[in-house]
Structure 1
Amino acid sequence: MMKKLLIANRGEIACRIIRTARAMGIATVAVYSDADAKALHTRTADEAVHIGPSPAAESYLVGEKIIAAAKETGADAIHPGYGFLSENVDFAQAVIDAGLTWVGPKPESIRAMGLKDAAKQLMMDAGVPVTPGYLGEDQSVERLKSEADAIGYPVLIKAVAGGGGKGMRKVDAAEDFEASLESCRREAKASFSNDEVLLEKWITSPRHIEVQVFGDSHGNVVHLFERDCSLQRRHQKVIEEAPAPGMDEATREEICAAAVRAAKAVDYEGAGTIEFIADASEGLRADRIFFMEMNTRLQVEHPVTEEITGVDLVEWQLRVASGEAIPLKQEELSINGHAIEARLYAEDPAKGFLPSTGRLDHFAIEDYGARFDRGVTRGGLVSPFYDPMIGKLIVHESDRETAIDEMLNMLDRSIVAPVKTNLGFVWRCLANPDFRAGNLDTGFIERNIESLIPSEIPSRKELDLAAAAQWHLAWESLAGGSRGSFEYRELRGFRMNAESMTEVTFSGSDGSALVGKVTAEARAAAFDANWNEIEGGVIFPFQGTTRVLSRRFDGAGHASAADGAILAPMPGKVIAVDVAEGDAVTAGQRLMVLEAMKMEHALTAPFDGTVTELSASEGGQVQVEAVLCVVEPKGE
């Protein structure tokens, strides 16, 4: 068994690996960039080594620095986590060549599954069903367009070296193909240094089903059953669960057997995931489930598999990498209950899910004894340099209905501020009747998006609850009910009458006055709510959304840019500029593309008009709310 493990990653996955390694008596080494000098994984590991500036391309993606850190600290093994260099063949081989233990599959297996077109052909040869599409070497725009037309729209463009939803575009019509191809290739080149693509037929009612597999150096391969990852936004998973809703035993047996065949076809060792797409138009059926790709690493959603099987997959990784056999045989593995994972993203659903950065001044996840894998603590920073996921909430119960209820309870009492998060959005996904009924596919979020995004304006019920919370705090501090105490409270925005009815005036996010009333029902609810008084107001969660209300309306509104000024929604890099000064533009037309937190964000014209100013240039770095260009509206 290894003695000292270096984790070539950051955030929650680094913290999660450290936890298991420590339980096994293995010393740990963290690596960190400038931005992560005080990060949780840096502070949690036994040792930490600085490896460079904040951008991942200058730190976490530089294999030479990571191997040097391992040698400097005497580490004898490297675990890559997921993302970054986890599926980089050259890095895996360099680790092995340096005489270190690589906690992952053999480089040959990564290479075999690393390119989606080659992997698809390999699976066909192994008898694993695959989705119809185009895998050809001819990557010309003309050939790809011709093949897409022949397949029939909608089609899916996928980067052959892609993963994590990067380098994927759904194309609904022929006239959109070339623009989507250009965007896909650009993102693929930036993320994977490879802009080759393949095409697949878009399945109308798709379910994303994946199977956890595990192999060892003794020729053993087992599966640990399936997960459903159908709830996705822009191909990024939001909620995952195990087992898959509606999966019958016969279909499970066939899909898991196909996954084992896929792993054996590449002589697989370690943790891996075989991803399938299922045509769920008539429920889950074995003859309508097709291979998509293999992820040759630990998955973000691995905890739901751990919860239903009782297996620590990181422990298995460390044991298998050390030459041991898989601890359990296939017949010793079984499904126990149901598990759900929700990803906590630092993003603002009300603003198109733009990433949100800053300090977590308020960060309290009420887990009720459930599992919370995180990479930050209260007071920590959410950086603009990395993926916006800051944690994962996991519940495990006897059945799916109970698991959903427990996750809703968790979200109902969790507070994260002032950084915006997707927790209110997740709450609405879980509470949706179709989700509860198991009526899922990858288009679920897109179809229901309007009802899933929380309003920025507090509801009547929220205001009353906040007023009740303030009433309770005021009542507790009244010194014997003296008139002086009442007058003091009145100055803080309260009006109290003899029947103890209270009205509290808050200021809304737009500067408007919001009045909450305290009723007996609201007072009762306030006692059961997770609310806190903060300077000048109150903070409390409601259906996953954290509300921060200032107590007294002072008439101050928020400054806003003049009409037509296009502002940078976050710090980032301008990677494309589509217009020039003097150009006429139409409402919704793309003006430029900003890259931030590993995502592309298109900025569009708010109305028909003319570009009168242009300060952004391709390749330039911009700060949040910088004016990038100005569009003057078209005259009447």
Structure 2
Amino acid sequence: MKPPVPSLLIANRGEIVVRIARTCRALGVRSIAVYSDADKDALHVRACDEAIGIGGTSPRDSYLRADRILDAAVRSRAAALHPGYGFLSENADFAQACLDAGLTFVGPTPSAMRAVGDKIAAKQTAAAAGVPILAGYAERDQSPHALRDAAERIALPLLVKAAAGGGGRGMRLVTDMAAFDEAIESAQREARAAFGDPTVFLERFVQSPRHIEVQILADTHGRCIALGERECSIQRRYQKILEESPSPAVTPALRAKLEQAAIAIATAVGYVNAGTVEFVLDEEGQFFFLEMNARLQVEHPVTEMVTGIDLVAEQLSIAAGAPLALAHPSQRGHAIEVRIYAEDPASGFLPSTGLLTAFVPPDMPHVRNDVAVTHGSRILAAYDPMLAKLIVHASDRRSAVALLARALDAYQVGGVATNLGFLRWLVARPEFEEGTTTTDFIDRHFRLEDLQPQKGRRAAMLAAAGALPELRTTGDAERSDPWQTLGQWRHSAMPDEVALADGTVQVERSYAEDAWRASLDSDAALVRNAGHGTFQSLEPNGADGDRFTAWLDSSGTLWTAIAGSAIRFARPAPPTDTASTGHRHSGTASRGAIEAPMSGTVVKINVTVGDAVKAMAVLMVVEAMKMEHALAAPYAARVSAVKVQVGQSVAAGEVLVELEES
């Protein structure tokens, strides 16, 4: 069969490139990747038939550079371009530039993209089509006065949202007008960084809603169909974490209304190709239009699993001018997707960077892994922290939830902290099993102590210490010289003592079990290398225990991830030299230093030397992985030093501000 297009440049990075390339191979389409300098060894580069470098190490200097993307298309003689999601995927000017360059753009027309891609214009389109919308402010006047006046009319609580994008970026909840101006400034900065457009709009905040979206496909011959709904209510910081289809809250009658509304909006703007219309569903069952995404969604696999339709193949076919051959599809079974992120729940879900020492997705029937990385990949602060998506499919929701739990139990990642433990907690919650979760579920129910290892911190420490000799042998550490990383243990034939802040563990080889024995007082653990950067603990009777990962970071800190939750074990603090210092007092650097919680870029500084600040006052804002992180004063103090400037790149642990407690 003749391919819909001979060659396709995929203007993106990560798992979506790998996923699109998979369909290209099936259809006989030559796939072309682009990559930044930082991504030259990335998995998506190897997944395609050809790859073109576009320079840069940040999104702004690489994947957001339309000129470099188009130059790569010309150099590779690409016939078509797929934008993926994020970056330039909803940029109408870029879509037009592709058409002007003679490329087939796999997506909607520039005019349709402008009509729905701009969230302000989309709300106006929905209202004109008779679809319910939330009260708010969606005007072009972005002056502080106009925005504040509108906020006072809407009443609190309200949401500030980026007009040009989604994914939770450029979104802030305002519950107190005293925080309104800062919320606007922060949302605009984040929107500019992520989408190149700082425009925002305001919207009434619905308490405890569900987030429902409808997938549509429309061809160039005037036909538009809906492929059912997805529920995306489980979110954190307005970013989707888990998506499923069908929604446990949607009846057949409500589904028909949602699909009718989605088709009405798409038809009103002459929409072509794949798109998603998002709605909020309140506690009374009334739905309101949120936005339309003029691209393929991150969560599209759940629709593919329940319909059997390859959405990327349909996109390519539509872009080539073919009419839709699909009837209205019936849904088969239930599908759930979770997103695996490199982030540390113990540090407030801050992004986690480093070298992946292990990456072993589950290999099971009815389980799909859409991955962005592999063993040895480096996770960078400049880009989105999503490592992979895990998708399961079963005959019904209860079976799908059970399969997802088993798949998460089997997932192994080492080298960075991840949200795997958090996802395991989520899937085990009775509210999720019953299908009653809403968008505020995590805020209301999650507590960090929920992620503590079942067998306790000491058992985790023994397991990590037992893995340490194997880390030394394999060099599975963040630094290129594992002997340097292992510090005090590098001179011995085998480490017989592992000194950690929690205690000193005795480690010896147990040849009978072909394992390492780690002991502290009366507690002990047997650990065996399980390959691929993973380890296996052994029960006293010789049976397999927990499978886990362990690694050393660049500072020499020992980590382990058991049941998905990463735990760090620091070395003992050096003794204080009281002879030279005389005494220690509360104003030491360790007490008064505000450090960068992750690698990133300083985007705002609110203080200068000499300022008096109140407890919890925001001192500065650091951007990492396209998200802003506000750093607050832990107590009332006076600023004694500001060590950085706006625009400066900082490393995790770098001192940014010094305080003197007042």
Answering whether residue 292 of structure 2 is matched by residue 294 of structure 1, we say yes
* Shift of residue 541, structure 1, vs aligned partner: 5.4
What CA distance in whole angstroms lies between the structure 1 residues aligned with 2:125 and 2:324?
A: 25
The 10-residue stretch of structure 1 (460-469 or 380-389) with the greater mean CA deviation from structure 2: 460-469
d(CA) in 1 for partners of 2:176, 2:250: 33
| CA shift in 2, pair 1:31/1:558, >3 Å | farther
Within-5 A mapping of 1:94-173: 94-173=97-176
Q: What count of residue pairs does the alignment treat as equivalent?
A: 597
Q: 1:549 to 1:587 in 2, by over 3 A?
A: closer
AA paired with 1:198?
A: F
Residue 532 of structure 1 and its aligned partner are, at CA, apart by 6.9
Match of 1:373 in 2: 370
Question: Using a 3 Å threshold, how does the CA distance of structure 1 residues 195 and 69 change in structure 2: closer, same or farther?
Answer: closer
**Cα RMSD between the aligned structures?**
3.1
Q: Deviations over 1:553-592 (max 9, x none)?
A: x856799961110111222221111111111112211000
Match of 1:509 in 2: none
Paired residues of 1:113 and 1:119 also in contact (CA < 8 A): yes
State the distance in 2 between where 1:565 and 1:525 align: 48
Structure 1: distance between partners of 2:468 and 2:445? 39
Matched, 1:325 2:345: no
CA contact (8 A) 1:245 1:438 kept: yes
Pick aligned residue for 1:530 from 537, 547, 565: 547
> Greater shift after overlay, 294-303 or 604-613?
604-613
Q: 1:628 to 1:473 in 2, by over 3 A?
A: closer
Which of 562, 565, 574 is 1:545 aligned to?
Answer: 565
Does 2:615 match 1:587? yes
Report the AA paired with residue 340 of structure 2: L
SS at match of 1:30: strand
Question: Counterpart of 2:59 in structure 1: which amino acid?
Answer: A
- Comparing 361-370 with 439-448, greater Cα deviation is found at 361-370
Q: Which amino acid aligns with 1:460?
A: K
Matched residue of 2:591: which SS? Answer: coil
Q: Which residue matches 1:387?
A: 384
2:36 corresponding residue in structure 1: 33
Q: Call closer, same or farther: CA 1:490–1:94 in 2, change over 3 Å.
A: closer
> Secondary structure at the residue paired with 1:339?
strand
**Residues 300 and 95 of structure 1: CA distance in aligned 2, closer, same or farther (over 3 Å):** same
Gaps of 5+ in 2: 470-493, 498-505, 511-515, 527-536, 577-587
Counterpart of 1:352?
Answer: 348
2:311 corresponding residue in structure 1: 313
Q: What is the CA deviation profile of residues 50-100 of structure 1, one whole-angstrom value per residue up to 9, with x for unaligned ones?
A: 111111212111112112212212210111100111111111111111111
In 1, distance between residues paired with 2:120 and 2:461?
55
Find the partner of 2:184 among 181, 184, 194: 181
Aligned to 1:14: 17
The residue aligned with 2:500 is none
Closer/same/farther in 2, CA of residues 96 and 433 from structure 1, 3 Å limit: same
Aligned residue for 1:483? none
The 5 Å alignment of 1:261-276 reads: 261-276=264-279
Matched to 1:89, the amino acid is A
Q: Normalization by structure 2: what TM-score?
A: 0.84
Instruction: Tell me the residue number matched to 1:303.
Output: 301
Structure-1 separation of matches of 2:381 and 2:460: 34
Which secondary structure state, in structure 2, belongs to the residue aligned with residue 19 of structure 1?
Answer: helix
Which amino acid in the other structure matches residue 432 of structure 1?
R
Q: Equivalent residue for 1:499?
A: none
In the alignment, the residues of structure 2 paired with residue 33 and residue 200 of structure 1 have an alpha-carbon distance, to the nearest angstrom, of 36
On the 8 A contact 1:573/1:621 being kept in 2, the answer is yes
| 1:259 match: secondary structure | helix
1:149-170 deviation digits (Å, cap 9, x = unpaired): 2222101111222311111111
1:621 paired residue among 649, 652, 661 = 649
Deviations 1:377-424 (A, max 9, x none): 101111112111111011111111221121111221222112111111
Give the secondary-structure state (helix, strand or coil) at the position aligned to 1:52.
coil
How many Å separate the matches in 1 of 2:436 and 2:575? 42
Q: Contact between 2:467 and 2:550, CA under 8 Å: does it hold in 1?
A: no
State the identity %. Answer: 46
Per the TM alignment, residue 468 of structure 1 is displaced from its structure 2 partner at its CA by 8.9
Aligned mates of 2:439, 2:628 — CA distance in 1: 21
Counterpart contact for 1:583–1:611, Cα < 8 Å: yes
What is residue 628 of structure 2 aligned with on the other side? 600
Q: Quote the Cα distance in structure 1 between the aligned partners of 2:522 and 2:279.
A: 49
Q: Equivalent residue for 2:507? A: 493
Conserved 8 A contact 2:87-2:195: no
Label 1:140 to 1:468 Cα distance change in 2 as closer, same or farther (>3 A).
Answer: closer
The amino acid that maps onto 1:589 is A
Tell whether the 8 Å contact from 2:345 to 2:419 is kept in structure 1 after alignment: yes
